[in-house]
Amino acid sequence: MLNDLSEVTQRLRRVCSQEVDVSGSYQAFLQDIIDEGRTTLAVSRVSVWLFDDHIQPRFLLNVANTDWSTKVEQMDYAKLSLERYHAYFTALKNGESIAASDAETDPRTTEFSDDYLKPYGITTMLDTVIFKNGVPHGIVCCEGTDGPRQWQSAEVSYAEMIADCCSRRILVSELWALQQQLSDLAFQDALTGLKNRRYLMDYAEREISRHMRAELPLSMVVVDIDHFKAINDTYGHEVGDIVLQAFAGCCKLVLRTEDCLCRLGGEEFVAMLPHTNADNAYHVAERLREALSQQQIEYGSERIMITVSCGVAEVNLQLPFSQSLKLADHAVYQAKANGRNCVVRS
């Protein structure tokens, strides 16, 4: 029993207010809260379960548990179904806290008797609802194995505060994920899925600084699709979009994982090649040119072939990136002047 609710709630509030990395698993950023709850309530286990769908839930999924190791090894019993535990779900969906002094006889938890309570020695349960925007989102389940236990109102209030703390952490995690999605969209070309010009300028600034410190070469290949306007005029912009997507896919197969391919705009792209000098970048550009010239892009009965003109430049780490980009762009113009479907080194 909690003798001083104020003291333990203050401690829980301090734990909850600490900054944690919410980019990982639920287990990681809820661990300190559920550990604090298990110690304070003197229970055997505290776990967090979330509905698979908060509007029409069918399952509760176990996302954090004080029994799990740091490797987050889940228990065998990790999913509860509405069909199997109807009374339990009904109480939770109504937003009720379940203080089951004797879990085997309480009508809301007796459904667990044969397949969970008895096998795991659970005798008492205190389950409180996690709310999101006023709607039940999941639960915090506190379980004891020392026989039936009369839950005091202070203990129920404390367990509800644990649920509120979990709700706060989950909300922060969801906001972080949304922020990451918005950030990705800001730096991503919607059509091809490649990074865009805005990302390229930030990336180049970071890579120039890194390569300068390490005294390593950094190169780029600017790639322009030949006669792309004619493709749009002949087949339409829908086919032009398909060509751009096929182009991006082919380039990804040729380039290394550490290379960075961005769409500058229209039919012009740039591949940044870390730890690569101009000679090796030239060979990469040739492989790109050859692979793209051999690719057949299918649209209905049509088989479309493309060629590209490439400009290669080693980035001058002592100058603004825009200067090196201009050199590579000028090399592309020279490649087009030379008849297209070729590589020119600046």
Residues 6 or more apart whose CB falls under 8 angstroms from that of 58 comprise 52, 81, 82, 83
DSSP bridge partners of 127: 98, 141
Task: State the DSSP H helix or E strand holding residue 296, giving kind and residue range, or none if neither.
Answer: strand 296-299
Cβ distance 34 to 16 under 8 Å?
Answer: no
Strands of the sheet containing 308-314, edge to edge, are 195-196, 260-265, 268-274, 218-225, 308-314, 343-345
> Residues with catalytic annotation?
267
Q: What is the DSSP letter of 148?
A: -
Contact 266, 199 (CB under 8 A): no
Beta bridge partner(s), residue 48: 64, 140
Contact 224, 336 (CB under 8 A): yes
Give the whole-angstrom CA distance, residue 135 versus residue 129: 9
CA distances from 243 to 51, 94, 172, 229, 256 (A): 42, 53, 40, 12, 22
221, two tokens = 């290949």
Q: What whole-number distance in Å separates Cα of residue 70 and Cα of residue 27?
A: 9
Q: Which whole-number Å values give the CA distances from 104 to 100, 125, 155, in the listed order?
A: 9, 10, 20
